[in-house]
Amino acid sequence: MNKAIITVMGLDHTGIVAGISSVLADFGVNILDITQTIMGDMFVMVVLVDVTPLDDLSPLVEKLSKEAEKLKVKVSLEREEIFRAMHRI
């Protein structure tokens, strides 16, 4: 299974989870885990997803960036292995 982590940050308002998850559904990307916290007045959401069905991640990244712009939040996507390399021995 190819996993990726999507991080969403911005001022908290309604519709962020819905906006991001509908993009994921459009691409057939399954959400494996999701956590969210409020740091100060900042909304932080971390979504672990299964990107196995996608050969090329660039259309998804592009669509997520567009959605993030609409929602006035910052979004980034990284494949999971980079976090494993940096944070696990």
Partner 1 sequence: MLFTTEEILETIRMVQIERLDIRTITLGLDLLDLRRETVRETAFSISEKLKGVTRDFLDIIKKVELEYGIPIVNKRVAITPVSLLISSKDEKDYLYLAKELDKTAEEIGLDFIGGYTTFLEYEISESDKAFLKAIPCILNETNRLCASIVVASTRGGINVDAIKEVSYIILETAKLKTNPVTCAKLIVMCNPPPDNPFMAGAFHGIKRGEKILDVGISGPGTVRAALERLPKDSSLIDVAEEIKRVAFKITRAGEFIGKEIAKRLNINFGSVDISLAPTPEEEDSVGKIMERIGLEFIGAPGSTAILFLVNDAIKRGGFMASSSVGGLSGTFIPVSEDKSIAEAVSCGALTLEKLEALTNVCSVGLDMIPIPGDVDPYTLMGIILDEMAIGVMANKTTAVRILPVPGGKPGEWVELGGLLGKAPIISVNSFSCRGVFERGGRIPPPISSFRN
Site residues (vs partner 1, CB under 8 A): 3-5, 7, 33, 35, 37, 44, 46, 48, 56-58, 61, 76-87
* Rg value, the chain, Cα: 13
The nearer residue to partner 1, 26 or 78, going by C-beta atoms, is: 78
Nearest CA to 47 out of 7, 3, 1 is that of 7
Which one, 41 or 87, has the nearer CB to partner 1? 87
Query: To the nearest whole angstrom, how small is the minimum distance from the Cβ of residue 66 to partner 1?
Result: 15
Contact 74, 16 (CB under 8 A): no
